[in-house]
Amino acid sequence: MTGRQFLVHTGAAFLLLFSWFGQAEDTLATDVNQLITAGGTLTDIVFALNKNDRLIGVDTSSTSPAAVNRLPKVGYYRNLSAEGVLSFEPEHLWVLEGGGSDRVLQQIERAGVSVVVFDKPTSLQGLYELIENMADRFGAKAEGKQVIAGIKSDLTTTSSRKEPLKALFVLQASERGVVAAGKDTVPDLLFGFSSIANVFSHSGFKTVSAEYLLVEQPDFLMAPEHVVRSHGSKEAFCQAQALKLLEAGKNCRVLVMDSLLALGMTTRIAEAQRVVAEFANEIAAGRE
């Protein structure tokens, strides 16, 4: 059966919806080949399941593991073009929520490609369910369980720091303020795992004024690599108008993280947590 498939997360279950046919059924294909993934989280999971031999292309947000750089790119997942994707002659296109416009994905589906849009995970449970769902589609239930078990065993939420730390995740810094990560984001989850208080308590990514930050005074800043690079250097980033008056900005206490590691809910979440915790421990040790 053709038709674009939407995975909608509802509690602990996924509902498989067909937006153009108004019906739901399980059409999991275990012979997935000639696959393109659009979304770094999806590509990361395909590699973790050792199914990367099925891939013929990925989008530019797919930066991990290093082997992914040998694969052809189809552009950024939010700006897919039908012509670009179809030029690879794929059988399957897996897209992370938010990727591609409805018009483009419909064009690709009408060309005979199986298009599946996966819900973007915002929690560990959501990540585990996504891994299970993708593993099922490959006919690799055992591999999926193994990947999940590995994540669970690697995660640690203990801290030996004597004093609590406060941090701010910066997605954008300009004269108008800072776009910061609040609740229901991967950076906030990483802070929580590492016993770090997020100075921004709103939900999602929103602009925060410099005045607010001057009051809150985070102990350190965290930012994705591509954002810091856009300023030219780490030092230039710390001199951004909204950051340079903060103690963390003046002293350039910034953890620069791999962008996918910092922003993506991937199988490397335990690695991301370790990076954040180790940096926080260094900051805390310097204050003792």
The string of DSSP letters for 38-103 reads ESHHHHHHHHHTT-GGGEEEE-TT---SGGGGGS-B---GGG--HHHHHTT--SEEEEETT-S-HH
| pLDDT reported for residue 156 | 77
The more confidently predicted of residues 233 and 19 is: 233
- Whether the predicted pLDDT of 19 surpasses 80: no
Q: Where residue 161 falls among pLDDT bands split at 50, 70, 90?
A: confident
Nearest in space to 218 (alpha carbons), one of 167, 170, 171: 167
Number of domains within the chain = 2
Name the least confident of 11-15, 71-75, 274-278, 281-285.
11-15
- Whether the predicted pLDDT of 1 surpasses 60: no
Q: Tell me the average pLDDT across 55-72.
A: 94
Asked if residue 160 belongs to a domain, the reply is no
Judgement on whether residues 145 and 215 belong to the same structural domain of the protein: no
Q: Assess contact for 118 and 7: CB atoms under 8 A.
A: yes
Judgement on whether residues 47 and 114 belong to the same structural domain of the protein: yes
Q: Where residue 14 falls among pLDDT bands split at 50, 70, 90?
A: very low
| pLDDT reported for residue 30 | 65
Nearest in space to 197 (alpha carbons), one of 223, 180, 178, 218: 218
pTM, full prediction: 0.84
Phi, psi of 175 (to 5 degrees): -65, -25
Judgement on whether residues 218 and 195 belong to the same structural domain of the protein: yes
Which single residue is written with the structure tokens 């560990």?
A: 124
Between the alpha carbon of residue 286 and those of residues 143, 161, 234, the distances in Å are: 42, 12, 20
Per residue in 176-220, pLDDT (tens digit) is 889 999 999 999 999 999 999 999 989 999 999 989 999 999 999
The domain that holds 250 is classified in CATH as: 3.40.50.1980
Token pair recorded at residue 85: 């994707």
| pLDDT reported for residue 24 | 29
Nearest in space to 143 (alpha carbons), one of 48, 52, 55, 64: 48
Range of the domain at 72: 5-154
